[in-house]
Amino acid sequence: MKAVACIVLLCVASAAAQPAPVIRHIAIQGNTRTRTEVIRRELLFAEGDTLDAAQIEETARNLRGLFFLGRVDIRVQEVDGTADVAVAVADLYARALSPLLSGEIGELSYGGMALDYNFLGRGQVVRLTAEHDAVSGVRAAAYYRAPRLLGSQHAVTADVSAGAEGHDVDVSLSRPFYALAARWAYGISGFSQEEVRRLYTDQALTGRYTDRLDGGSLWVTRSFGDRIKVRPTVQLRVTDRRFAPSAGFAYAPEDRRRVLPSVGVTVWRPRYDKTRFVHGLGRIEDLQTGSWVSLYAGLSHKGLGSDRGFRFFQAQISPRFRVYDNGYAFVTLFLSARRQGGRYDNILALAELRAYMKIREVHSLALRVRWDARGRTEDAGQLLLGVDDGLRGYAPRRFDGSRRFLFNLEARPMFWRRWSAVVAGALFVDGGAAWTPGRASPSLNASAGVGARLALTRVYNHPILRADLSCGLRDRAWQISVGIGQYF
């Protein structure tokens, strides 16, 4: 018996001592429109590398994150100390010519959009939009993104739009973290934006002014650690902002020029769950279940060219929990403020809980509870509440204030599922309040309704078409809202 035990131990030790196989060949299969080199450049391994299961899994996750790819299957066959890797993918329909429609009867926004998420099969994004917004008027936009510029790990993005109430130009060049093992990320951007901002009181327009913002930023981030990521960041942001009241209105914030150096750190635990029917409808979701915390601090100083001096702080804590096999809870706590002249101002705070529970693998229950606050801000911004801001059944901008509370409870049954589409529904209850302390007391308002969901599983990013019919219990009025994606 002792001899047998020794032989078994020797065999186990020998197997444990065997080196991992070396990748001999990589085959890319199933792509029709997407060029093979586009998929190959996303691989975190190459011929001649030692086989690493973690890199195989991370590569599959990165490929699933590409909007123009559907099924991703990486298989490994080991032969005599070597390994052959087959990467099988399926292209999605990445081109679309789509109408745009949103809002309510009497205040509809409409237009059209042409886009290609896989331009020329190179994984680039091109989007052209023309629309008439019910509030701001006509606007046209063009967007371009190359996530791997000239085959490198750099990304370039250009977003340009112009309309009746201003323009928006944003150009950036960056090198993001393309893999968990990547140690450096950096970027530089420049922007010019102009828009008309509106302030409301009880749905009545009480302020309107032009907001012009020009500037740029650059940042560098270093990543340390493996199981726990520690990522310190250095950033410099320069902005020049000009305001002017519209005809017939007197209020506009004061002009400001800011040179803002800052430092920060993010601590994050990378952890993912593969699941379905949480945020999407049927597609494999790589649900990020690792918690993180981020802290930032910086200053504005007249000696650097700013119009005023102050220090600013920002903190976010995001615990994320897998409560049980089919239940998840995501918490976000956020606070930012400035300190100037011995007091804190420009205070922004948020606390939110989102919870998702799967029922029989294809149905789900979703909950959101959120509280927002603004205090002693530099300009007269406000928090709105209505169909566009968390409370279906009430008109946009129905309620406003410097505090906002809302909750949403939604049952999401799935009715029909095929290879090309998924049909689901929603039964929901919404509630919320918006108020300004000292001016009004919070008054809870509620609504209830039903909705339909259609997921197109063969189209880029598996879009969800949403339509909801709801009734506000306070106004006793019905509202129809449509959009892309789940409501929350």
Q: Could you list the pLDDT tens digit for every one of the 488 residues in the chain?
A: 454 444 444 444 444 556 889 999 999 999 999 999 999 999 999 999 999 999 999 999 999 999 899 889 999 999 888 999 999 999 999 998 888 877 666 778 889 999 999 999 999 999 999 999 888 899 999 999 999 998 899 999 999 999 999 999 999 999 999 999 999 999 999 999 999 999 988 788 999 999 999 999 999 999 999 999 999 999 999 999 999 999 999 999 999 999 999 999 999 999 999 999 999 998 899 999 999 999 999 999 999 999 999 999 999 999 999 998 899 999 999 999 999 988 999 999 999 999 999 999 999 999 999 999 999 888 878 899 999 899 999 988 899 999 999 999 999 999 999 988 999 999 999 999 999 998 888 999 999 999 999 999 999 888 999 999 999 999 998 988 888 899 99
Q: Are residues 301 and 396 in the same domain?
A: yes
346-354 long-range contacts, Cβ below 8 Å, gap at least 24? 346/312, 346/376, 346/377, 346/378, 347/373, 347/374, 347/375, 347/376, 347/377, 348/373, 348/374, 348/377, 349/373, 349/375, 353/329, 354/329, 354/330, 354/488
Q: Which two structure tokens, joined as six digits, stand for 347? A: 């205070």
Residue 473: CB atoms within 10 A of its CB come to 16
Q: Are residues 192 and 333 in the same domain?
A: yes
Q: Are residues 146 and 238 in the same domain?
A: no
Domain ranges, residue 97: 93-173
Cα–Cα distance between 400 and 201 in angstroms, integer? 7
Q: Are residues 148 and 207 in the same domain?
A: no
Q: Are residues 33 and 126 in the same domain?
A: no
Q: With CA atoms as reference, report the closest residue to 28 among 43, 13, 18, 17.
A: 43
Q: With CA atoms as reference, report the closest residue to 216 among 185, 241, 237.
A: 237
Q: Are residues 60 and 99 in the same domain?
A: no
* 266 falls within a domain: yes
* 420 falls within a domain: yes
* 1 falls within a domain: no
Q: With CA atoms as reference, report the closest residue to 90 among 462, 488, 472.
A: 462
Q: Are residues 146 and 281 in the same domain?
A: no
In this predicted structure, what is the pLDDT of residue 103? 64
CATH number at residue 303: 2.40.160
Q: Are residues 148 and 33 in the same domain?
A: no
Q: What is the pTM of this model?
A: 0.84
Count Cβ neighbours within 10 Å for each residue of 242-275 and write b for 16 or more, e otherwise: bbeebeeeeebbeebbbbbebebebbbeeeeeeb
CATH number at residue 81: 3.10.20.310
In this predicted structure, what is the pLDDT of residue 15? 45
Spatial neighbors of 332 by CB under 8 A, at least 6 apart, are: 316, 317, 318, 350, 351, 352
Residue 189: CB atoms within 10 A of its CB come to 16
* 251 falls within a domain: yes
E strand map for 443-488: 445-456, 464-472, 477-484
Q: Which of 153, 173, 193 is the last residue of a domain?
A: 173
* 120 falls within a domain: yes
| Domains identified in the chain, total number | 3
Phi, psi values for residue 137, rounded to 5°:
90, -155
Q: Which of 132, 158, 173 is the last residue of a domain?
A: 173
How many angstroms separate the Cα of 77 from the Cα of each of 28, 51, 64, 313?
14, 11, 22, 52
Residue 190: CB atoms within 10 A of its CB come to 15
In this predicted structure, what is the pLDDT of residue 97? 85
Q: Are residues 181 and 68 in the same domain?
A: no
In this predicted structure, what is the pLDDT of residue 104? 63
Q: Which of 64, 91, 118 is the last residue of a domain?
A: 91
* 135 falls within a domain: yes
Q: Are residues 359 and 404 in the same domain?
A: yes
In this predicted structure, what is the pLDDT of residue 4? 45
Q: Are residues 141 and 53 in the same domain?
A: no
* 161 falls within a domain: yes
Q: Are residues 268 and 329 in the same domain?
A: yes
